[in-house]
Every structure is written in C-alpha cells, then in structure tokens.
Amino acid sequence: DAGVTQSPTHLIKTRGQQVTLRCSPKSGHDTVSWYQQALGQGPQFIFQYYEEEERQRGNFPDRFSGHQFPNYSSELNVNALLLGDSALYLCASSLMSALPSYEQYFGPGTRLTVT
Amino acid sequence: AQSVAQPEDQVNVAEGNPLTVKCTYSVSGNPYLFWYVQYPNRGLQFLLKYITGDNLVKGSYGFEAEFNKSQTSFHLKKPSALVSDSALYFCAVLHYNQGGKLIFGQGTELSVKP
C-alpha cells in the first residue's frame, strides 16, 4: 500500500517564475491538505481540497492555488515566486468521514528553492 | 483561536534515560491533539493522538503522551530514550470546525546522546 507521494523531490526556481507541485494521497483517502514548512518552523496550513473543491484556506496570498482531480490527487501552484516562498512543501492526505479522529498522513515533501 | 506552544526549542537526553517533550494548547471546545516526528529531509510521521477517553495515550515506537485538561498540556514521553529517537518533534491541534486543519507548534529538537 503506497503512502503519500509527492513530486518532484527538489526544485530550484527563479524569482517571478511559476511552479507546480504534485501529490498523490494514500490509497483510500479522499482529502488532501497542503502545508508550507519554512526552515526552523512548524508547518503552516495553506489549503485543503475535498471533492475537488477548496474547502478551507490558510493565510496565504492568491498566488497560491490548487486543484484536486477525480482520482483525489492534487496540485499546488505558486505564481510570481518570491524568495520567501523557499520552503519544504508538504502534502497530507486523510479521510474526511473519519473526522475528527483521523490522523493526516504526510508525504516526504518537495523542497523548493527560489533564487 | 486554536494554538499550540512548545516551550523548548531543544531537549537533550542521555540514552536510556526518560524523555519528555512539552506541549501546551489553547482551544475552544474539545481538543484533538497529535504528535508528529520529522527526521532530517523527511516528511512528518504520525506518533499518536488524543481524541477522547484515557488521558494516557500510547503510540508508535514506545512513545506515549499524557493529556492534562486542567493544565492544557499534552506532553510526549518515553521511558527509555534511544539515539535513534533524535529528531524534530511537533505537537499539533486539529481545528475541527474548519474541516481538519492542523495547527502546529514550532517544534522541539530532541537530541539523544549515547
């Protein structure tokens, strides 16, 4: 049973560019959440997707957008990259019907470096 | 607003000694609390959770956590530390009213020396 997978593992982009990160949830899960983890900090919630819709959003600008596909996989898009967007981006999957007792399963993350 | 605090940036323990990693929380309503561990250049791994029931929760790799409602704490413990326990530990609270958003503390780096 594959866990949460993310691609790519590492990415280097230049300021102003756009980036797309991908996530496949754990088998049987229907909800995907994205988190940003800056160096030395705890993960910060970006947004959550369920039934192909953004269900809730953290305190991130509109440059951050996402999508969920019918197979529950998800993408995170960041436009007009800033140096401050450099971070580890974590995807977490869960089963919405199991709230609140579920735990979110995290992928290995994508390390984004903006130069 | 929901929040979590981990008052110690780093905890140092000798192998074989008991360890405690502290966490306090602030929530409105019932607290749903989690501990995760992160090894270098890796994602987060779930350790344990408190949803309801017994105040002492047992989790993976011999870890346990004690939920204390009066002190609003959820400290992570292990009776005998291993060098391999050295990692970054995060406490988190589930913001249930918003569909399952996790709010994390800043993390505590645990270092276990032989």
Q: What is the pLDDT of residues A57-68, one digit of tens each?
A: 999 999 999 999
pLDDT in tens, B56-67: 999 999 999 999
Confidence of residue B28 (pLDDT cuts 50, 70, 90): confident
Residue A1: pLDDT over 70 = no
Segment B14-18 mean pLDDT: 98
Q: E strands along chain B, which residues?
A: 3-5, 10-14, 19-21, 24-26, 33-38, 44-50, 56-58, 64-68, 73-78, 87-95, 101-104, 108-113
pLDDT in tens, A31-66: 999 999 999 899 999 999 999 999 999 999 999 999
CB contact under 8 Å between A43 and B42, yes or no, is no
Three-state secondary structure call for residue A64? strand
Q: What pLDDT, on the 0 to 100 scale, is given for residue A101?
A: 76
Q: Is residue A107 part of a domain?
A: no
Q: Is residue A93 part of a domain?
A: yes
Q: How many CB atoms lie within 10 A of CB A71?
A: 8
Contacts of A48 in chain B (CB under 8 A): 99-101
Rounded to an integer, what distance in angstroms lies between the CA atom of residue B36 and that of residue A98? 19
CB contact under 8 Å between B102 and A43, yes or no, is yes
Segment B22-31 mean pLDDT: 90
- Whether A60 contacts chain B with CB within 8 A: no
Segment A18-39 mean pLDDT: 96
Segment A66-95 mean pLDDT: 97
Fold of B3-113: Immunoglobulin-like (2.60.40)
Q: Is residue A44 part of a domain?
A: yes
Confidence of residue B92 (pLDDT cuts 50, 70, 90): very high
CATH of the domain at A50: 2.60.40.10
Contacts of A112 in chain B (CB under 8 A): none
Q: What pLDDT, on the 0 to 100 scale, is given for residue A14?
A: 98
Q: How many CB atoms lie within 10 A of CB A6?
A: 20
Mean pLDDT value across chain A: 94
Q: Is residue A15 part of a domain?
A: yes
Three-state secondary structure call for residue B60? helix
Q: Which of B2, B49, B102 to mutate to test the interface with A (most CBs of A within 10 A)?
A: B102
Task: Return the exposure string of B28-38: e unless at least 16 CB atoms fall within 10 Å of the residue's CB, then b.
Answer: eeebbbbbbbb
Q: What pLDDT, on the 0 to 100 scale, is given for residue A83?
A: 97
Residue B106: pLDDT over 70 = yes
B81 touches B28 (CB < 8 A): no
Q: What pLDDT, on the 0 to 100 scale, is given for residue B98?
A: 60
Could you give the percent of chain B with pLDDT greater than 70?
97
CB contact under 8 Å between A45 and B101, yes or no, is yes
Q: Report how many domains make up chain A.
A: 1
Q: Is residue A114 part of a domain?
A: no
Find the CB nearest A99 among B44, B100, B103. Answer: B100
Domain extent, residue A83, equals: 5-98
Segment B90-106 mean pLDDT: 86
Q: Is residue A103 part of a domain?
A: no
Q: Is residue A104 part of a domain?
A: no
B80 touches B91 (CB < 8 A): no
CB contact under 8 Å between B101 and A102, yes or no, is no
CB contact under 8 Å between A104 and B106, yes or no, is no
Residue A111: pLDDT over 70 = yes
